[in-house]
Amino acid sequence: MDPRLVTAIEVVVGVPAVLFLYIILTEQILRPIPDRRRGTLRPWLWLAPALAFLAVFLVYPTIGTIIHSFQNSAGTKFVGLDNFVYFFTSPTTLVALKNNILWVILLTALTVGFGMLIAVLVDRVRYESVAKAVIFLPLAISMVAASVIWTFMFLYRAPGEPQTGTMNAFVGLFGVGPVPWLQVQDFSFNTILLIIVMAWMWTGFCMVIISAALKGISVELLEAARVDGANEWQVFRGIIFPLLLPTLAVVGTTVVITALKAFDIVYVMTGGNFDTQVMAQAMIQQMFVNSNFGRASAVAVVLLLTIIPVMALNIRRFQAQEAIR
């Protein structure tokens, strides 16, 4: 038999079987242990596989990153805070930092806002599945293809030439343009356009998760409110929105982090020119082009630190959730 076929069978049957076996075995392991100790030990057995994966694939490399951030480009000697000083004094990285703030605010607002709006709207129509697929579609497109799509959306040709870019052809109908979209730096217009491209891709992500939560809200509850004479807006504000809040926090946090790590779109669309650079791009440039692991790690550490306020908000939310349970 083809060894690949063997692999395939083992993969589909074996892998889930092993995992279920593990969790069933935990109770067997705990059985001989006295009741009180059992309760303390059990959560760790359930967490063990996840913590092991996280330790190896994320924590261990991150410790290395933190050490590297205090070292020179080749990691041969310690240079104190030099890499951080470079980060906070270089004009290009400061622009990147400013752009990332815009990314976080605008991308989160657009994707969570539209994601919730669409999830709530399509919940009421029969063609929900098709409508959701349409919004989800851009997420299934690879980054390479997305860059081709948007290159043709923003395409600029010399004035007087036929405009083959969708946006310039459109504004041309009104006698405007052509506009070199990605070169317009005023009010960070080009960065905003890049954020819109990313929002086009990620709204589907928010929509799918919000939609899953929406389906968990009991029908009886909504019907009861409607019977009591509440209009749709009141139902949304009074029942749906509060129940969606924890989920909105999850997608919001995820999108904030996505915005902090945004890289591909900028890299392929503008290469970071015209003041569109972002932090993750600076990091990858330092790491894989300049081979300066020290500076690359410093950017990564700054990224890690920016997450602290977001996490603090999450802690408070969990404590609130615990309290009402």
Tokens 């405007």 map to which residue?
A: 176
Q: Considering only residues 103, 112, 150, 191, which one is a binding residue for other proteins as defined by CB under 8 A?
A: 150
Of residues 279-318, those binding other proteins (CB under 8 A) = 280, 283-285, 287-292, 296-297, 300, 303-304, 306-308, 311, 314-315, 318
Q: Considering only residues 29, 37, 60, 234, which one is a binding residue for other proteins as defined by CB under 8 A?
A: 60
Q: How far apart are CA 215 and CA 211, in angstroms?
A: 6
Of residues 261-280, those binding other proteins (CB under 8 A) = 261, 267-268, 270-274, 280
* Nearest one of 286, 309, 305 to 297, comparing CA atoms: 286
Of residues 195-254, those binding other proteins (CB under 8 A) = 200, 203, 205, 208-209, 211-221, 223, 239, 243, 246-247, 249-250, 253-254
Of 76 and 187, nearer to other proteins (C-beta) is 76
CB count in 10 Å sphere of residue 103: 28
Contact 318, 325 (CB under 8 A): no
Name residues whose C-beta falls within 8 Å of residue 111's C-beta, 6 or more positions apart in sequence: 199, 202, 203, 205, 206, 251, 255
Of 173 and 175, nearer to other proteins (C-beta) is 173
* Nearest one of 44, 65, 26 to 302, comparing CA atoms: 65
- Total residues in contact with other proteins, by rule CB under 8 A: 151
Of residues 61-120, those binding other proteins (CB under 8 A) = 61-62, 64-65, 72-74, 76, 91, 114, 118
Q: What is the dihedral of CA 82, 84, 90, 96, to 10 degrees?
A: 160
Contact flag: residue 176 with other proteins (CB under 8 A):
no
Name residues whose C-beta falls within 8 Å of residue 204's C-beta, 6 or more positions apart in sequence: 115, 132, 135, 136, 137, 138, 139
Q: How far is the CB of 222 from other proteins (least distance, A)?
A: 9
Of 65 and 99, nearer to other proteins (C-beta) is 65
Q: Considering only residues 29, 33, 37, 51, which one is a binding residue for other proteins as defined by CB under 8 A?
A: 51
